[in-house]
Amino acid sequence: MNTTAHSGSKRRKKPMSLERKEELQGYLFVLPWIIGFLLFTAGPLLFSFYVSFTNYDFTSQMDFVGLRNYKYMFHGDPLFWVSLKNTLFYVVLMVPLTTFASIALASILNQKIPGIRVFRTIYYLPSVLSGVGVYMLWMELLSPDTGIVNLVLSWFGITGPGWMFDPNWTKPAIVMMKMWSVGGGMLMYLAALQGVPEQLYEAAEIDGAGSLRRFWHITMPLISPVIFFEVITTFISGFQIFQEGYVMSSDPTTPGSPMNSLLFFNLHMYLKAFKVFQMGYASAMAWFLFVVVLFITMINMWVSKYWVHYEGGDGR
Amino acid sequence: MKNAKKSLLVLSTVALSGSLLLTGCGSNGNNAQENQSANQTSNQASNQTGNAAATTTPEVKEKVTLDFWAHWGSTTRRPIIEKIVSDFNASQDHIHVNYSFQPFGEGWTKELAAVAAGNPPDVIIQDIFTVGQRAAKKQATNLSEYINQDPSIKDRFFPQLWDASLYNNEPYALPFNTDTRFLYYSKKAFQEAGLDPNSPPKTWDELLADAQKLDKLNGKRIERLGFYPDDWGLFLDNADGKLMMDKNGPNFNSPAKIDALNWVMSFNERLGKSNVDTFKATFGSKQNDPFVVGKLGMTIQTGTYFAQIKDFMNPDDIGYAPVPEMKAGSGNWTYGGGFVLEIPYGAKHPAESFEFMKYMTDVAAQKYWSQYLFDNVANQAAANDPELSTNNPVSKFATDNMKWTLVSPVPNNAPDYTSVSNPNIESALAGKTDAKTALDKAQSAVQDLMDSNK
């Protein structure tokens, strides 16, 4: 048996090199994942792309309608623009504010003082909590009459707004809530800050650089790859905002209320898909959002050339 | 040796990943079985006898097991629905129903997926407004065949509920329960404010006058309101006895409805919108309900609200009356909703399912439901049963109020009409636009939505 195998392999010209074999085995090892990806991610993805050109409603029809869904999106659906505007407003406000807040927090928590670990834990804790529980908590905190936020404001003689009841304040309120849980980003920045070599600061100090200058010329460039990563992921997750509008609406029977101020893109898409069964249209919306996010990420990538600094590389 | 080891490794990898896939596919079936067995344990006693009967007497037609989904899972509702189901199981020996609780809303999404997959439950409790949508989209079974065998069934129900169960004049559902709204007022507060506790307001003018007498304001801060038209839609419906949206389309901007919105807005103008919002934000539910804690002197609520009153207040202190009419003679109109029983499209045993639905909407089951839950039921004979009044003084009143209760399905091409109409009306209520403009806009927005979905 052994000899025949040997003679067989001798006949061919290096039938299966070690590398090839290992390659094959490698593919076999990742096969479950690849099958899972094709079946449960790529498959539905392509299906939704096809569905976006049909009038699919789950149960009764799936006829090809060409670009009708896309036309309706731009010309027929008044809430499409409302939801897009709401989402953009939220993203534009949330991304810079949370980025700034988490860098600031990380810098503060990067001090070498006793008990700093306790503070780090405290500031990280909110990001462990998630979901509806946090929203319920904030709805209590932001209650116009009895909430603690307006109570504290009243100590300074400020009459707080209606928050979740006032369409002008709902999105800022949600951004505020997001800033409370910047712990996740903070942790990334903290790790990056700890990775900045001490001798660079020492050298700069000897050269007479002040602390602001050191931060701007040493810290910022060295943590810029992490900022870049964080900004991109925050952008993407920002566009996916959904639950907040669904749960925190002032009238629970009308998701997105008051006055559609919390009708985010994904919430509108969800309602179209599962409440009205316009799955074809909802799929078209999903693909539009994909293109928007892709476009913004590409701009981000392109702009990054000018501000992201990679230590020891050629800038890539 | 090394080679053999490696090929063994490769082989086992393939086998492992293969088995992974298999378990992935198989888990669905397993879960279903597990669910079933879980359901069976909950109905163990009757089920066991049922199974025994089926196995020992082969000449009897095989016993059919039905899966029944509803969102009633609370400690008050679940025992009642389970009792009705087990009564049905005991009443005959060829159908066994398993009750399966599905959280509100979630069950309907699950039904959608199940219908699309061709494996739906046998009977489901669904929303009455959207029967037509599911009929048109092949999510519900046409019941004509079964109704035609016994056409008298349709006379059981309040006519507006039966109408709401039709699509293209064919039935797709049987109404189960409904609701109606009317005025509850605190006799104590009336006395305190020098009002006659036995003469509740009859018109909107009287409602407003009484409300103002009951108001307790501390500067800008509101401590108690006599009344606040929070449910503005009800007043718009009440004004001319026409729903803002019925099966024929939108009716937002009739002169009476414009007057009605102005009337609702006058509350905000008088009290200050932000003061009202601040006050409303303190409202809770159950024992913290604003009417229960005395923050409101009058409120408009459904019949089941009486359950809360019974739990947290002295029912003798509470009076009730129809919704005041806009002007004398315009009618005490209100709106209603409810739930229906449906057979999801593609269910395996429609005839048996219909038999169960017949039982569920018959007098005994309907009476039992109403008696213990203070709910308005769809069966007229059950609703009018004098025995109900002994336990619940509101029962008779709520049943009589059905004659003022408007129920209509929503057109299929605008099921989400509130998302375009409400923001316009909310903007009027926020003082950003006037009533006529808001209602004209709402009317045309809904009309546009219907046209674009044609």
Is the Cβ–Cβ distance between A258 and A171 less than 8 Å? no
Tokens of A48: 């939704």
Residue B76 pLDDT greater than 50, yes or no:
yes
Range B182-335+413-452 classified under CATH 3.40.190.10: yes
State the Cα–Cα distance between residues A56 and A54, nearest whole angstrom: 5
Chain A residues in contact with B22 by the CB 8 A cut-off are none
H/E element, A215: none
Task: Give per-residue pLDDT as tens, B380-428.
Answer: 999 999 988 887 888 899 999 999 999 999 999 999 999 999 999 999 9
H/E element, A184: helix A183-194
Provide the H-helix boundaries in B169-271: 187-192, 204-214, 232-240, 255-271
Render each residue's pLDDT in chain A as its tens digit; 316 residues. 444 445 444 555 667 789 999 999 999 999 999 999 999 999 999 999 999 999 999 999 999 999 999 999 999 899 999 999 999 999 999 999 999 999 999 999 998 889 999 999 999 998 888 788 999 999 989 988 788 999 999 999 998 888 988 899 999 999 999 999 898 899 999 999 999 999 999 999 999 988 899 999 999 999 999 999 999 999 999 999 999 999 998 888 888 988 999 999 999 999 999 989 999 999 999 999 999 999 999 999 999 999 998 876 554 4
Domain locations along chain B: 59-179+337-406, 182-335+413-452
Question: Would the CATH topology of B59-179+337-406 be identical to that of B182-335+413-452?
Answer: yes
In order of A166, A315, B386, B430, the CA distances from A145 in angstroms are 13, 54, 46, 18
Tokens of B17: 């990943």
* Chain A / chain B CB contacts < 8 angstroms: 97
Across the interface, whether the CB atoms of B423 and A78 are under 8 A apart is answered no
Is the Cβ–Cβ distance between B331 and B325 less than 8 Å? yes
A77 touches chain B (CB under 8 A): yes
Chain A residues in contact with B124 by the CB 8 A cut-off are none
A166 touches chain B (CB under 8 A): yes
Across the interface, whether the CB atoms of B452 and A60 are under 8 A apart is answered no
Chain B residues in contact with A144 by the CB 8 A cut-off are 274, 277-278, 281
Residue B143 pLDDT greater than 80, yes or no:
yes
State the Cα–Cα distance between residues B371 and B388, nearest whole angstrom: 6
Question: For chain A, which domains are there?
Answer: 76-307 (1.10.3720.10)
The CATH number given to B59-179+337-406 is 3.40.190.10
Across the interface, whether the CB atoms of A35 and B109 are under 8 A apart is answered no
Please list, in sequence order, all residues whose beta carbon lies within 8 angstroms of the beta carbon of residue B242, skipping any fewer than 6 positions away: B251, B254, B406
Bridge partners, A54 (sequence order): A64
CB burial readout B119-156, b (16+ within 10 A) else e: ebbbbbbbbbbbbbbbbbbbbbbbbeebbeeeeebbeb
Q: Mean pLDDT lowest for which of A10-14, A242-246, B90-94, B180-184?
A: A10-14
Helix A78-108 and helix B418-429, axial crossing angle in degrees, nearest 10: 70
Task: Measure CB to CB from residue B423 to each of A25, A35, A260 and give the nearest one.
Answer: A260
H/E element, B78: helix B77-91
Please list, in sequence order, all residues whose beta carbon lies within 8 angstroms of the beta carbon of residue A201, skipping any fewer than 6 positions away: A214, A218
A258 touches chain B (CB under 8 A): yes
State the Cα–Cα distance between residues A55 and A120, nearest whole angstrom: 52
Sequence length of chain A is 316
